[in-house]
Amino acid sequence: MRSRGAAVFAPLSAAILLASLPAPAGGAASASRETLDKVAFRPAGIEAVVDRVVAEVAAQVKSHKTLVCWLLDSTRVTQQMNLLPRLAARVETAFAPMGAAWKDKAFLAVCSMGGSQKPAAVLSPVSPELTPALQAIRELGTMPDDTYKNALDAIRRVAQAMTTFSGRRILVLVTFENGDTEDNLEETLLHVQKCACTIHVVSREALYSDPFFEVRLGGLRSYYASYGLELPYELTGTDAPTPEYPNGWIFDRSGIHDVVPSGYGTYALSRLAFMTGGTYAILHPEDPGVLPFCAEAGCAICEGTHGGCDAFYDPARLALVAPSLLPRDAYRADLGKVALARAFFESWQIAYDAGLCAMPPPWEVKGGTLNPRPARSTRAPQQPRPLPAEAPEPGTPWTSWGYDALTHGGMGVPNDAKLDEIFRDCDKAIATLENAVRTAGLPKPSIRLVAAAETLLCQLYATRLNLGQFRIVRDDLKATDHPLSSAQTLNGFALPALAETRRRTAESWKFDYRNLRFCHGADRVRDICLLGGAPVRKEQMALCERVDRALQKYQGSPWEILIRRIGVVLLRPIAVPPPPPPDPLAPKPDKKPKASDPGPPPPRPPFAPPVRPPRPFRGSTVVPGGVPPAPGADPQARPPALTPSNSR
C-alpha cells in the first residue's frame, strides 16, 4: 500500500509489456529496452522525483555540464498540498551536499507556467547557486493562479530558452491541474527534440474516457468566442490518443460512472516524456475529504457506508493494458486494421445514434477503415439536452446532461414505435459487438481492446434490461386495471402502478430514478426482484453471470471499476399536471408600449481569463483506510475483490 499523496512513475505506452504477448493494436512507440526500463521506474513520493533527477545529474556531470530547469505551476490545489515548499526542501537536501563536487558543473533555473494571458516566465535565471532557485520555488508556492494554462506552450518556450546553455538539459514540469491542455503536440515534440531536452513530468493521473473535458470545452470555447478570441489549446485528459469508451449513459443518474482513473498519465505529456527519455510521475492529491464511490454515488445497497474502496490496481495487470503513445494518425491506422476495433466503434455509433449514450465515437467506420469524424458544433454546458419530443435527432439521450456530469430525471414518455426502435438499435449494437468478440480474427486484438469491448457488452446488456423496466412501468401507467405490485421493487421506490396517480389528469409523465450498481458484486443485484416476471428474471441472471465473469477476468484494472459502476435502474413515475385554464374574468393585460430606442449597447466588461473549476469528483478514489464505517456497521463487511483504483 502506498501512502497518501504518493507519486508513482507510470509505465508509459508499452512499457514492461511481456515479450511473449502480441503487440497492442494501437502499437507502442519504438524504443530501446533501456528506455522502457527507465520510463517504467517507480519511486514513491514527491521527494523521489527530486532524487531521480539528482541521480541523472550525477551521471551527467562527470563528463558534461548539466542544467536542470524546474517549470512549475502554482494553483490552490498545490498550495493546499504544500507541494512547492516540499519540493524546495527536497531540492535543498539533495543538491546542497553536492555543492563542491558539482561546482561549475550543475546549474539550476526556475520558471513559472504563466497563465491565460501571460507566457511562461523565468523566476530564477541559470545559476550554479542553490539559494535563488529555492527562494523562487517557495515564493511561487504563495501565489496560486487557477486560470487555464497552456502546458505545451510553456514547454516550448522554456526549451527554446534552455538552448543558450551549452551542456545537457533537463526540464522538470510540475503541474497538477493543467496537465490536460494540449497544443500542437507533434510540433512540440519535434521542437523539444531539436532543443535536446530531457523532459520529466510530475502531474496527475489521467481518467479513462473522461467526460469532463468534452462538456467543459464547449463552454470554454463559447467564453473565448464572445470576446472574439480563439481557444489556444485543447483539453484532452485521457491516457490514450483518443477516448476509448463511451460515457453519459441513459438511466445513469451519476456521472461518477465515467470518472474512472486509468493508472497512467495524460497522453500528451506521457508522449513527450517517453520520446525524450524522461519519466512521468503520477502525483495524487492529499485530500482528507475524499469519499468512496458508494458515498459519492449514493449506493442503494449500503447507503454509502461501505468502506472497502481502498485497494489499488495491480501493477502487473496495468502493464499488460498500457495505452499506446503512437501519433494519433498512426494509432488510428493500426487500430483500423483490427476487426474487433471496427465493430467496437460501430456498436458505439449505433448506441449514440439511438440516444443511449451522450458521447459520440471519435472515429467513423467507413469502407473497413476508421476515419476522423467531421467537425461538429459544441453545446454550451448550461444548455440541457432537449427531450426527444422536442428534438428527435440522433444522439439525443432522454436525460439532461449538464456540465456537472449528472444525469437526472426529465425523461419523456416515447411512443410505442419509438421505444421499439430503440430496443432494436440496442439489440443491433449488442449483436455487432458480440459477434466480433467471438470471432476476433487477425490481426489479434490487444488485451486493452478486448477489455473495453467486453465491458461495453456488459453496459449494453444492462441498458437493455433498463429499457425493459422502463417499458413495463410505462405500459402499466397506460393500463386501466391489473396494477403491478409495488412489493416487487426495492423498498417500494419504483411504485410503478399507483392506480390513483394513474387516473389523475396529467399533461405528461416524467420519471425519477436511482441506480442499483454492481459495486458490491453481482450477487447483491441477483437478490433484487425486478418487474416483468420469469423472462426478465432470466435476463437479469444472464447479466449477473456475465458481470461476474468480467469482474473476475479484469480484477485490479480500470475495467473492473467500470463494470462495478454499471447500474440497474429503479424508476418512479412523476405526474406533471396540466397548467390551470385561463380565468375568463381576469383583466386582460395592457398592450405593451413600443420600446424606445435602447441606444448603444453597454460597454463589454474587460476580458478576464476563465478560472479552472474543480474537476468533478476530484479525488473520488479513496486513500488507504477509506472512511470510517457508520455506527453499528460491520467494518469488515466488504466484497473481497473490490479494487476501485490506485489513484487520486
Phi, psi angles (nearest 5°) of residue 553: -70, -40
Helix axes 151-162, 185-194, angle to 10 degrees: 20
Cα 620 from Cα 617, distance rounded (Å): 5
601: left (phi over 0), alpha (psi -120 to 50) or beta: beta
List the domain boundaries for the chain. 331-366+382-391+401-576
Count CA atoms closer than 13 A to 89's CA, side-chain side.
8
Are 557 and 452 in contact, with CB atoms under 8 Å apart?
A: no
617 with 406: CB under 8 angstroms?
Answer: no
Q: DSSP label at 580?
A: P
CB–CB of 181/150 below 8 Å? yes
The tens digit of pLDDT for each residue in 298-326 reads: 666 665 555 445 456 777 888 888 899 99
User: How confident is residue 406, by pLDDT bands cut at 50, 70 and 90?
Assistant: very low
Q: Which DSSP symbol is given to 618?
A: T
Q: pLDDT, tens digit, for every residue of 79-89?
A: 888 889 988 98
For 170, the 3-state DSSP assignment is: strand
pLDDT category of residue 548 using cuts at 50, 70 and 90:
very high
pLDDT tens figures, 349-404: 999 888 888 788 989 998 888 988 875 544 333 333 333 333 333 333 333 333 23
Q: Whole-model pTM?
A: 0.78
CA angle at 599 for the pair 597 and 603, rounded to the nearest 5°: 150
Q: Which cell goes with 261?
A: 482513473
| CA–CA dist 55, 59 (Å, integer) | 6
Looking at every residue in the chain, the average pLDDT score rounds to 73
CA atoms within 13 A on the CB side of 65: 14
**Which residues touch 390 (CB under 8 Å, ≥6 apart)?**
none
Strand partners, 121: 112
Strand spans (E) along 6-105: 7-9, 66-72
In whole angstroms, give the CA distance from residue 157 to residue 177.
Answer: 20
Does residue 18 carry a pLDDT above 70?
Answer: no
